[in-house]
Amino acid sequence: MSDLVLVSSADEQDLRSGVRDMLAAECTGQSVLAFVSSGADAYDAKLWRTVATGMGLAALLVPEAQGGAGAQYRAAAVVAEELGRAVAPVPFLSSAVVATTALGSSASHELLGRLASGELTASLAVPYGLWSAPPLLSAQYGAVTGSVRGVADALGADVLLVPADDGLYAVESAAARRTRIPSLDETRPLCDLELSEAPARLVAPLAAVPRALRVAAVMVAAEQVGVASWCLDTTVAYLKERYQFGRPVGSFQALKHRLADLWVELTQARAVVAYAVADLAAGGDDASVAASLAKIVGSEVAVRAAEECVQMHGGIGFTWEHPAHLYLKRAKATSVAYGSPDRHRARLATLVDLPLEAS
Amino acid sequence: MSDLVLVSSADEQDLRSGVRDMLAAECTGQSVLAFVSSGADAYDAKLWRTVATGMGLAALLVPEAQGGAGAQYRAAAVVAEELGRAVAPVPFLSSAVVATTALGSSASHELLGRLASGELTASLAVPYGLWSAPPLLSAQYGAVTGSVRGVADALGADVLLVPADDGLYAVESAAARRTRIPSLDETRPLCDLELSEAPARLVAPLAAVPRALRVAAVMVAAEQVGVASWCLDTTVAYLKERYQFGRPVGSFQALKHRLADLWVELTQARAVVAYAVADLAAGGDDASVAASLAKIVGSEVAVRAAEECVQMHGGIGFTWEHPAHLYLKRAKATSVAYGSPDRHRARLATLVDLPLEAS
Amino acid sequence: MASVMTEADLRARISAFLAEHDPAAAAGGGDADRLAFLRARFDAGLAWVHFPAGLGGLGAGRSLQPVADDAFAEAGAPDNRPGRIGIGLGMAAPTILVHGTDAQRSRFLRPLWTGEEVWCQLFSEPGAGSDLAGLGTRARRDGDDWVLDGQKVWTSMAHVARWAILLARTDPDVPKHAGLSYFVLDMTAPGVEVRPLRQLTGEAEFNEVYLTGARIPDAHRLGDVGDGWKVAQTTLMNERVSIGGGAMPREGGMIGVLAAAWRDNPGVRTPGMHDTVMRLWVRAEAARLTGLRVRQQLAAGAPGPDGSAVKLSFATLSQQISAAELDLLGDEGLRRDSWAMGRPEEVDFTGRDAGYRYLRAKGNSIEGGTSEVLRNIIAERVLGLPAEPRVDTRVAWKDLPR
Amino acid sequence: MASVMTEADLRARISAFLAEHDPAAAAGGGDADRLAFLRARFDAGLAWVHFPAGLGGLGAGRSLQPVADDAFAEAGAPDNRPGRIGIGLGMAAPTILVHGTDAQRSRFLRPLWTGEEVWCQLFSEPGAGSDLAGLGTRARRDGDDWVLDGQKVWTSMAHVARWAILLARTDPDVPKHAGLSYFVLDMTAPGVEVRPLRQLTGEAEFNEVYLTGARIPDAHRLGDVGDGWKVAQTTLMNERVSIGGGAMPREGGMIGVLAAAWRDNPGVRTPGMHDTVMRLWVRAEAARLTGLRVRQQLAAGAPGPDGSAVKLSFATLSQQISAAELDLLGDEGLRRDSWAMGRPEEVDFTGRDAGYRYLRAKGNSIEGGTSEVLRNIIAERVLGLPAEPRVDTRVAWKDLPR
């Protein structure tokens, strides 16, 4: 496994620049703030068109046979990181990563082509914090019944992928009752779902779910690296220009040391995520260990970076008008998404033979 | 419990000054270093005579009927703290606290008078890290057989108090084979004991052991506060006089903030230990919770303070010639003595109804 | 100078007062009854008993105040809603008492204590947070008035306050600490504009206050011109004493919320979270016992520096505990009650939902002195460590880089 | 400037060399055979292949060095015991290569590489640790010699070294960085006294070196008079690169020791310790992957600053992991093998007993640059945060407070 490539290729660097430039123009702290403050939409539809259709990024994990770009995990991770850096309110993670991966496990499906083009979005109907087996709804006679709490991005999705008795079913979202929950991170809103004999098609085996969750853990970790990296960069820039006591605040050693430690942690998180992504791209020999590692390290650095960002901005970091809180909320919410660090450490213990109980 | 007195009385302050002044003269960093470097003795006999007989401090926890001062927990804690501050190599904790408390549970015993006068020392023959039920030796026909590993201060003790089948037995230490262990903290040496039909007298019920361990946890925590407080004071003094970059090193903000945090932790440890001692003195309504709290908080602050002391002294703190390492070793060794913080947190969880498992 | 008032004396006075003024009737009556009762209590010297006679007190020892408060509470008397007038009680009043003229004391203290007039504090500015002495709001002398221009921020209660204590720069040509003066501002005066300041919880507890040619009569200056920094020390000292103060039972405050979440949700327990909860429980109990010990030191007349430890660890703990609660609850903890912009007059750090608690706790290490400033204070004033090299204390304020 | 040497070229040369010099015979023979083989390898340019021809190298790319080392190792050739001559290889050699005269290079590099002559480093002083540029050992010119007086400390291998690289003050009347010069000292010269420095583990890895009128010919000066600080940067840069460097498998290093202790001692497991072990396992694996990525960046010719992250986290982790091992083992972990004062020539941080590992790890955040200095470097050079106000850079060294 040590021959996996952990550094970016030139193509990946170009992709990163392209996405970052686009987001700098179309997804600023102020625009996300306006999106969140209005609370009206499920996601930023205009931005999503640019991301999905304009730049073709919804197709990254769709097999080529279904009109996609093939399983381009390395590219998808670059996109996830940049979208995290911008706390972009678009369903890339939920639709283009999680739902697409779940569907991709089935031999082929026409839905995939429509997801690849950005024409439709889909959401896997599981609780946002799910990390093990999903709660199963009941499926009978081509219809699904039951409820799921706290589903990410289901509010704006066209299609819901619902785990039920004997497989994963596709349901038109209009057939479900969806209740929006005021959620800690309004850039990725949650809603509760109620399905009552909703017409459904079997689209994949249930085994698709754990695989999708594993990919989700890695991609959300890439996103978290983006969140942390915005927080660190923004804090450093602010501390260079903010003067107190006749000095730039960034010259105070206690803050410098904390930021140095944070940078070390971020550097490590980059390496861990790079490893998990490279492992996925190479076929996933170490996928379970790598995914848990990435989710733990990514979650911890994102939360710490966002907390330091708020604290080191002082009063202004505590206001609604400064975007720091968007990152704090995203960081904390994604830290429990697809399993908290604590859950993943427990899983890892089993995987690496460090059990709590004597065997 | 909130009417317990957590501040020192004038008498306690006088006692503290007296013990501290004596130790400043008779137990310096250099003298302890010389003691440890020679590795010859089990404890500093001359110092112990001053402490035990000269100042009468071995009698503090001996009931008045046996020639002692009564159960003066508050005074004993002051002494333990000051002895910790000086990493004094004397068996106050093991003989005058642990063994004395264990014996004191019996109605009356002539041994107590001899311990009170400092004429004899005793050691409870349990592993230094014991925190629950002791390993029991076998007792038959007034003789005890078996072995115990890693007993504190047994090497220099005149009498061993040995938990065996049906009670606590007193054994002349000459009747045991004692093997000294090179121990992390040579100011409180450990040894292994082998007893082969050693003549023994039943002196107390087995219930004496957990009670002695509870008192031990509190008194070792007081000692740890003394260790931490020496480390903090010494580091602060050094950083005021040590210049690097044309400035006193103590003017560097990163170090200042770490020391401020350490001071906060020490302030809290003082309060927790004061509470545990006050509770003991008042009859021990909350003794189990208070002892575990004190042992956890005391252990953590002592280790942290000693580690910071070594680090902030830079190179000189890593040498044998500077006494900082004596405190580091004492702090780390006492952190596992009578149960590590981790063990005590587990116990506390049960005591305060925060169980891991669903009930 | 020992107080001549004993606890028995005080209790006798209170009994006599209550015999004459029916507490239950006042509590059950209208606002006017309530106010009449409070005014009478003030006039009887039973408001803050350690204040001088004639100003709501009896010149008694500070330690007797709980006796009075408890006695009135037990009798069912109406209180002055201390949560709503905390700035007046905790900061303005002690400052007016020490630095005010007789006229200022007589005018301000009684309606302050009864709650008729709410106070706010206009110190912080967008450019002067930790470095309060660097503030730039200008006060220019004009006849018998001062004319104010500038912007203040983080002002709780400004939208309901009648008066503000305010720090402004009267001389930009001297080093920053020397050019400040301290005023009482009428919040209803022209040129005072209050705007809500929404915070990351969604609520707007605080305000921004814009001063545009607002006038303050010189008679409302507290202390000498140029002595503002000294006067402000009295205010800030009292602020620090009041934060994180009250006595609490075991599992009081934020740790009680986490402990309840643990007990109520056996399904989400893991060994790792158990360790986290236990570590925090121990830290919280240690902090609580420290608070208890600090109060005993205060009562014994030996106020050690441990109070700063209490405020610092309060902030750290409330943040760690509220974060652990979210970790424990997982996605269930992400559900908020609402993001609507409320304007709460009293703040409960342990209230609402887990997300609110987590977010609100972020303010605890910023408001009332950042944790960083507090660590500096501990390092220098408690441990006696040397100050950093200063570049801002000998230069005229106007020449400082900013 | 691209190297012309390809990997295939290099392999061909090595094969040719090995055909002429029997590696197995050299390894199995006496010291003289061993030495003859190493000298021949040096003369063939196969010692450090990125060094110039004639100085043990071929002017090849640095990335080809592992090819040579692996090939010789596979062939069973004797090595130069790199653990024993690390200071020569890692610090003295690159400095001599960059700053030395031709005569110095010819004299010193060959016996340095073959291990005939061991080197040590005389930089740190009791009064100059983190602030190395503040050092006070004086070098006074006397004819063609320099006369040295002062005390150096933390010198590993001084008791077996033939040569030392040494930094001394040649001009105390200028600011501290400007008054230093860099020398090569003959450790066998009169006036050089080496005393073992016992450390808290009980061992004496290091020495103190007292210089009392020791003489150095001016021909053994490296770089110009007054340029010592600049020359020392080459040395220190190479030191940092070499610390915490080697590739490791998962659970290599200290974490493997802790994991084994966990697996071997089911009786001492608790949920709390499990959480600690898992947290450290994750951190160690993250640090390992970071090291892997740093090496890939280096190989790709893009040496990012992540190397400082590796050294800093190595120190933190080795301390936390060794502490956790003691916590896990309880009183069994307090049993040491011995407190006797050994004089190890090579150090294994993961060796001996748990107590040794805990104590020795304390040095990891001090030796080779404290963690505090490393954090300053990261903050200023990587993050670009502003320096603190400096009080020591414009004053003559002799006038600095100390």
- Tell if the CB–CB gap between C275 and D278 is shorter than 8 Å: no
Interface membership of C271 toward A (CB under 8 Å): yes
- Tell if the CB–CB gap between B348 and C383 is shorter than 8 Å: no
Cβ-based burial of A11 (10 A; exposed 0-12, middle 13-18, buried ≥19): exposed
Q: How many CA atoms lie within 13 A of B199 on its CB side?
A: 3
Tell me, yes or no, whether A265 lies in a domain: yes
Interface membership of D388 toward C (CB under 8 Å): yes
Distance CA(A284)–CA(C20), nearest Å, equals: 84
Largest CA distance in chain C: 72
Distances (CA, A) of C210 to C186, C189, C193: 13, 12, 5
For residue D208, the surrounding DSSP H or E stretch is strand D206-217
Interface membership of D269 toward C (CB under 8 Å): no
Q: What is the CATH number for A258?
A: 1.20.140.10
Catalytic residue among D239, D346, D367, D388: D239
Interface membership of C292 toward B (CB under 8 Å): yes
Q: What is the identity of the amino acid at A297?
A: V
**pLDDT confidence of residue B108:** 60
Report the first-to-last Cα separation within chain B, whole angstroms: 28
Distances (CA, A) of A232 to A39, A140, A160, A227, A327: 27, 51, 36, 9, 11
> What DSSP character marks residue B130?
-
Tell me, yes or no, whether A161 lies in a domain: no
Per-position b or e across B113-142, b if 16+ CB within 10 A of its CB: bbbbbbebbbbbbbbbbbbeebebbebeee
Tell me, yes or no, whether B192 lies in a domain: no
Cβ-based burial of D168 (10 A; exposed 0-12, middle 13-18, buried ≥19): buried
Per-position b or e across A223-244, b if 16+ CB within 10 A of its CB: bbbbbbbbbbebbbebbbebbb
| CB distance C280 to C288 below 8 Å | no
Residues 6+ apart with CB under 8 A from C8: none
Start and end residues for every CATH 2.40.110.10 domain found in chain D: 119-234
Distance CA(B259)–CA(B232), nearest Å, equals: 8
| CB distance C216 to C183 below 8 Å | yes
Subunits close to D (at least 3 CB pairs below 8 A): A, B, C
> How is residue C144 written in tokens?
């018998």
Instruction: Please give the distance of CA C353 from its chain centroid, rounded to a whole number.
Output: 24
Residues 6+ apart with CB under 8 A from B121: B48, B52, B91, B94, B95, B99, B115, B153, B156, B157, B158, B159
Number of B to C CB contacts under 8 A, please give it.
Answer: 129
Torsion A136-A140-A144-A146 (CA) sign = negative
Distances (CA, A) of B253 to A255, B247, D162, D185, D306: 9, 12, 42, 38, 25
Asked if residue D299 has pLDDT above 70, the reply is yes
- Tell if the CB–CB gap between B256 and A254 is shorter than 8 Å: yes
Distance CA(C203)–CA(C354), nearest Å, equals: 15
| CB distance B98 to B216 below 8 Å | yes
Helix D31-43 to helix D102-114 angle (10° resolution) is 140
Residues of D in Cβ contact (< 8 Å) with C272: 271, 274-275, 278
CB atoms within 10 A of CB B223: 31
- DSSP character string of B265-291: HHHHHHHHHHHHHHHHHTT-TTHHHHH
Q: How many degrees, rounded to 5, is the angle at CA D132 between CA A254 and CA D357?
A: 70
Q: Which domain range does residue A245 map to?
A: 209-351
Q: What are D184-231's pLDDT values in tens digits?
A: 999 999 999 999 999 999 999 999 999 999 999 999 999 999 999 999
**pLDDT confidence of residue C143:** 97
Residues 6+ apart with CB under 8 A from A273: A77, A81, A218, A221, A222, A225, A294, A297, A298
Residues of B in Cβ contact (< 8 Å) with A239: none
> What DSSP character marks residue B297?
H
CATH class of the structural domain C243-369: mainly alpha
Task: Find tokens 């012309």 and name the residue.
Answer: D4
CA distance B334 to chain D (A): 9
Cβ-based burial of C236 (10 A; exposed 0-12, middle 13-18, buried ≥19): middle
Instruction: Band the pLDDT of D63: cuts 50, 70, 90.
Output: confident
Task: Find tokens 């002062």 and name the residue.
Answer: D150
- Phi and psi at residue A45, in whole multiples of 5°? -65, -40
Interface membership of B252 toward A (CB under 8 Å): yes
Residues 6+ apart with CB under 8 A from D186: D162, D163, D192, D216, D220
Distance CA(B218)–CA(B291), nearest Å, equals: 5
Q: What are D320-341's pLDDT values in tens digits?
A: 999 999 999 999 999 999 999 9
Task: Find tokens 């009980």 and name the residue.
Answer: D202
Residues 6+ apart with CB under 8 A from A28: A86
Distance CA(B84)–CA(D177), nearest Å, equals: 44
Instruction: Band the pLDDT of B107: cuts 50, 70, 90.
Output: low
Start and end residues for every CATH 1.20.140.10 domain found in chain C: 243-369
Structurally, how many domains does chain B consist of? 1
The per-residue pLDDT of chain C, averaged, comes to 93
- Tell if the CB–CB gap between B267 and C309 is shorter than 8 Å: yes
Interface membership of D275 toward A (CB under 8 Å): yes
Distance CA(B253)–CA(A256), nearest Å, equals: 10
Residues 6+ apart with CB under 8 A from D246: none
| CB distance D197 to D138 below 8 Å | no
Q: What are C156-190's pLDDT values in tens digits?
A: 999 999 999 999 999 999 999 999 999 999 999 99
* CATH fold for the domain made of C119-234: Butyryl-CoA Dehydrogenase, subunit A; domain 2 (2.40.110)
Asked if residue D127 has pLDDT above 80, the reply is yes
**Would strands D180-186 and D221-222 be described as parallel, antiparallel, or unpaired?**
antiparallel
Instruction: Band the pLDDT of C295: cuts 50, 70, 90.
Output: confident
Mutate to test the interface with D, among B257, B292, B342, B357 (most CBs of D within 10 A): B342
Q: For residue B198, list its beta bridge partners.
A: B144
3-class SS of residue B245: coil
Active site residue C239: yes
For residue A294, the surrounding DSSP H or E stretch is helix A287-312
Instruction: Band the pLDDT of D1: cuts 50, 70, 90.
Output: very low
Per-residue pLDDT of chain A (359 residues; tens, 9 = 90+): 458 999 999 999 999 999 999 999 999 999 999 999 998 999 999 999 999 999 999 999 998 888 888 889 999 999 999 999 999 999 999 999 999 999 986 656 789 999 999 999 999 999 999 988 999 999 999 999 999 999 999 999 999 999 999 999 999 999 999 999 999 999 999 999 999 999 999 999 999 999 999 999 999 999 999 999 999 999 999 999 999 999 999 999 999 999 999 999 999 999 999 999 999 999 989 999 999 999 999 999 999 999 999 999 999 999 999 999 999 999 999 999 999 999 999 999 999 999 998 76
| CB distance D184 to D222 below 8 Å | yes
Q: What are D308-324's pLDDT values in tens digits?
A: 778 899 999 999 999 99
Q: What are C76-117's pLDDT values in tens digits?
A: 999 999 888 999 999 999 999 999 999 999 999 999 999 999
Q: What are D362-375's pLDDT values in tens digits?
A: 999 999 889 999 99
Cβ-based burial of D399 (10 A; exposed 0-12, middle 13-18, buried ≥19): exposed
Tell me, yes or no, whether A301 lies in a domain: yes
Distance CA(B323)–CA(B186), nearest Å, equals: 13
Residues of B in Cβ contact (< 8 Å) with C297: 7
Residue of D nearest to B339 (CA): D330
Residues of D in Cβ contact (< 8 Å) with B238: none
> What DSSP character marks residue D227?
-
Residues of C in Cβ contact (< 8 Å) with D324: none
Tell me, yes or no, whether A285 lies in a domain: yes
Tell me, yes or no, whether A134 lies in a domain: no
Which A residues 320-349 touch D at CB under 8 Å?
Answer: 345-346, 348-349
| CB distance D341 to D196 below 8 Å | yes
Q: How many CA atoms lie within 13 A of B187 on its CB side?
A: 32
Cβ-based burial of A181 (10 A; exposed 0-12, middle 13-18, buried ≥19): middle
